[in-house]
Structure 1
Amino acid sequence: MTRPATRIELRPEAYEVIASETARHLPRETGGILLGYGEDANVVVTHALVVDGPGASTHRYVRDDVRANVLLAAFLAQRADDDPTGYVGEWHSHPAPSGPSPIDVTAMQATAREHDGLVALLVHAPGAQQPFFGLIARRQRMGRVTSKAATVLAPPSRCERPGPLPDGEVRRDGPGRCHASG
C-alpha cells in the first residue's frame, strides 16, 4: 500500500496574506507564522501572520521573535477554547525562485525539536514554476527530528482565465476578472 504524499493545505485567507505580503516586500524577503491544525501527517493552514524581520534583504529573513510571540498570543486569545487552531509553523518568501535553504531546514528542525506535533515550513517564491515549497517536521522519540517534503495545495484562483482574442485585438480588461471573496 502506498502512503499518500504529505500535504500543506493553504486556506484562502492564509494564501492571500502570504501572496500579498510577499509582493509588497519584493525584492526583500518577508515572513511570519502559520496557524492552523494538523490532520494525520498533513497540515492545514487557516491563517498566516506577518512578522517583520529587521534587516530583511533580498536573500535573508530572520523574524523578530518577541513580536512573533506577541502576535501569536493576541491571535490565540481571540479563539474559542475548543478551537483547534494553533501554531503549525513558519513561512517566508524568497524573491529568487528557490526552495528552503539549508539554514531554513536547520531552523525548522530546531523549532520542531521544541514542539509536540507537526511543524510546517512554507517558502513562497513567486517567480518559481511551483511558487510554494513545503516541508513538515516532527519530533520523534529520543528527540530525533524528521522532516519531509510536502506538497502545497493552494486554494483555487478566484480569477477567470481570459479566453483567446481575435487577431489584432488588445485586451482592455487586464489579465482576467477576479471575483470578490465570498
Structure 2
Amino acid sequence: MTRSATRIELRQEAYEVIASETAQHLPRETGGILLGYREDTDVVVTHALVVDGPGASAHRYVRDDVRANRLLAEFLAPRADDDPTGYVGEWHSHPAPSGPSPTDVAAMQATAREHDGPIALVVHAPGAQQPFFGLITRLQRLGRVTSKAATVLPPRSRLEALGPLPDGAVRRDGSV
C-alpha cells in the first residue's frame, strides 16, 4: 500500500510565476494549473501556468477551462514521450491571509474524480504568516474522494544567509 502524498514541493520556476502573478493581480485573485510529477509521497511542481479567470475579484477566481486545456496541450506538445511532467493540480491566490475555502475543496474533489493519482492545490496568500497553503485530493476506492492538508515547500533560497555584522561595521552615532 502506498502512502498518500503529504507534501507539495515548489521548484524555483513555479514559485516565481505564482509569486509574481499574485503580486501583479492584487487585490484580485488569480491562478492557473500546476505541472510536475509525483515522487514517492510528494507532488513536485516544476511549472505553473497562468490561466485568466474572467470576472476574478478579491474573493473569487474561476479559471477558464478552455484556455487551461489549450495552455496545457501547448506546454506538453514539445515534451519527450518519457518526460514525467504532466498535470498535477491547480493554484490560485487569496489576497486575504487564508487557506483553501470550502468552494476550493469542493472544486478539487470534483477534479480528483476525473484523474488518477493525487491532485495538488496551492493557495498563495502573501499576507499570511505562512504564505502558501496546500491541499492534496485523491480518488480512493469505491469512488470516495479525500482531501488532506499538505505542507508546501518553497524552493531553497539561492542566496547564502548573511551572518552577524562584524564589530565596528555600524557606528554608534548612526553615520555610515
In 2, the alpha carbon distance for the partners of 1:46 and 1:147 equals: 22
Q: What does 1:65-80 correspond to in 2, within 5 Å?
A: 65-80=65-80
Contact 1:36/1:45 (8 A) holds in 2: yes
* Secondary structure class of the residue paired with 1:24: helix
Aligned-residue RMSD, C-alpha: 1.9
Quick one: which amino acid aligns to residue 143 of structure 1?
Answer: G
**Bigger Rg, which one:** 2
Task: Identify the residue that residue 92 of structure 2 maps to in structure 1.
Answer: 92
Equivalent position of 1:115 in the other structure: 115
TM-score under structure 2 length normalisation: 0.89
State whether structure 2 residue 6 is matched by structure 1 residue 15: no
Q: Which amino acid aligns with 2:77?
A: A
Q: How many angstroms apart in 1 are the aligned matches of 2:4 and 2:116?
A: 22
Deviations 1:104-151 (A, max 9, x none): 000001100110011000000011000000011110111111111111
Q: Is the deviation greater in 37-46 or in 112-121?
A: 37-46
Structure 2 counterpart of 1:82 = 82
Q: Identify the residue that residue 53 of structure 1 maps to in structure 2.
A: 53
Contact 1:5 1:151 in 2 (8 A): no
Letter in 2 for 1:28: R
Corresponding letter in the other structure for 2:90: E
Counterpart position of 2:25: 25
Structure 2: 5+ residue runs without aligned partners?
Answer: none
Q: Tell me how far apart the structure 1 counterparts of residues 63 and 124 of structure 2 sit (CA, whole Å).
A: 15
- Alignment-mate amino acid for residue 43 of structure 2: V
TM-score by length of 1: 0.86
Asked whether the equivalents of residues 8 and 153 of structure 2 are also in contact (C-alpha less than 8 Å), the reply is yes
CA-to-aligned-CA distance 1:63-114 (integer Å, 9 cap, x gap):
0000000000000102110000000000000011000000000000110011
Moved over 3 A (4+): 158-165
Q: Could you say which residue in structure 2 is the equivalent of 1:139?
A: 139
Partners of 1:87 and 1:129 in 2: CA distance: 28
Structure 2 Cα separation of the partners of residues 5 and 78 of structure 1:
28
Are residues 1:157 and 2:157 paired? yes
Aligned identity (percent) is 83
